[in-house]
């Protein structure tokens, strides 16, 4: 099995910073089902880690992530799954983002290049995001005849408010620049090109210098308050995605993407 995720611990002045590197080495960094499992396992590996206060998640030099891998054989097998099998397989995404959101450690995303779809879903599950000035985000799910799931909509809503969330999700072809992402409160810091990781590590060092227990308890309190109604608001995410994935518009959206043409949606 190819390892897409590497973990390095004991970094920073007091060794309280860890780095999780997700890099498939192809400049695209798509989220195949196997990559999603590895990223989920990486988050869960910190559950009993009392020595780490901050985890920096970074992608490749050219991309944080292109989102779900539409060309991956396992991912494409969803097209032939029955509804029960499809619902079980669709739990990979929500499981991934929940694992990162629920970490006791403070999490910081270092975003270079592009951050698309599932990459955005993962980024908004983190505590902070640092984005290179020449990077951009995009949420293409609706343009592919799907809905934005993985409980991303309530997370984006907490960060940006209703109108910006609708703008980011519904206008699927719109690139969100680093400047716009900062103005919209989708990211907390903009760094020079190629320096997102350095800026994230500098922020991590500041967090790691604080009392670990107080930091962990504060994060838990803020998250519980902010996300108290998220499950209620997004419990249909998975079933909406399953329903949308069986639509003709979804088939057309994916076909148009793979064929590099403009889709013709018909509302069916």
- Domain 5-194+230-259 homologous superfamily, CATH: 2-enoyl-CoA Hydratase; Chain A, domain 1 (3.90.226.10)
pLDDT at site 72? 66
Question: Could you please report the per-residue DSSP string of 64-88?
Answer: EE-EE-TT-HHHHGGGG--HHHHHH
pLDDT at site 48? 94
The distance from CA 41 to its chain's CA centroid, rounded to whole angstroms, is: 15
pLDDT at site 76? 65
pLDDT at site 266? 87
Enumerate the domain spans of the chain.
Answer: 5-194+230-259
pLDDT per residue as tens, the chain (268 positions) = 789 999 999 999 899 999 999 999 898 999 999 999 999 999 999 999 999 999 999 999 899 999 887 776 666 666 676 777 777 778 889 999 999 999 999 999 999 999 999 999 999 999 999 999 999 999 998 888 888 889 999 999 999 999 999 999 999 889 999 999 999 999 999 999 999 999 999 999 999 999 999 999 999 999 999 999 888 877 788 788 777 877 888 888 888 888 888 888 888 8
- Asked if 57 and 107 count as a contact pair (C-beta separation under 8 A), the reply is yes
Is the model's pTM score more than 0.85?
yes
- Asked if 119 and 96 count as a contact pair (C-beta separation under 8 A), the reply is no
pLDDT at site 74? 64
- Asked if 149 and 237 count as a contact pair (C-beta separation under 8 A), the reply is yes
What are the beta bridge partners of residue 132? 191
């Amino acid at each position: 099995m190819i390892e897409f995720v590497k973990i390095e611990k004991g970094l920073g002045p007091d060794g309280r910073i860890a780095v999780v590197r997700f890099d498939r080495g192809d400049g695209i960094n798509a989220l195949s089902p196997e990559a999603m499992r590895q990223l989920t396992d990486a988050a869960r590996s910190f559950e009993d880690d009392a020595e780490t206060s901050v985890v920096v998640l970074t992608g490749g030099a050219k991309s944080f992530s292109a989102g779900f891998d539409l060309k991956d054989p396992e991912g494409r097998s969803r097209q032939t799954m029955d509804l029960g099998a499809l619902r079980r397989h669709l739990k990979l995404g929500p499981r991934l983002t929940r694992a990162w959101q629920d970490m006791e450690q403070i999490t910081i995303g270092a975003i270079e290049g592009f951050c698309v779809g599932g990459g955005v879903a993962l980024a908004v599950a983190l505590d902070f995001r640092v984005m290179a000035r020449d990077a951009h985000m995009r949420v293409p799910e609706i343009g592919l005849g799907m809905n934005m799931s993985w409980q991303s909509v309530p997370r984006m809503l907490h960060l940006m408010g209703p109108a910006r969330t609708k703008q980011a999700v519904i206008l699927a072809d719109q690139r969100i620049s680093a400047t716009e992402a900062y103005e919209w409160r989708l990211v907390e810091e903009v760094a020079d090109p190629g320096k997102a990781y350095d800026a994230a590590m500098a922020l991590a060092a500041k967090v790691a210098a604080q009392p670990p227990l107080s930091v962990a308890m504060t994060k838990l309190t803020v998250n519980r308050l902010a996300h108290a109604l998220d499950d209620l608001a997004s419990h249909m995410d998975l079933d909406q995605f399953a329903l949308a994935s069986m639509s003709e518009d979804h088939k057309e959206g994916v076909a148009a993407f793979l064929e590099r043409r403009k889709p013709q949606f018909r509302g069916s």
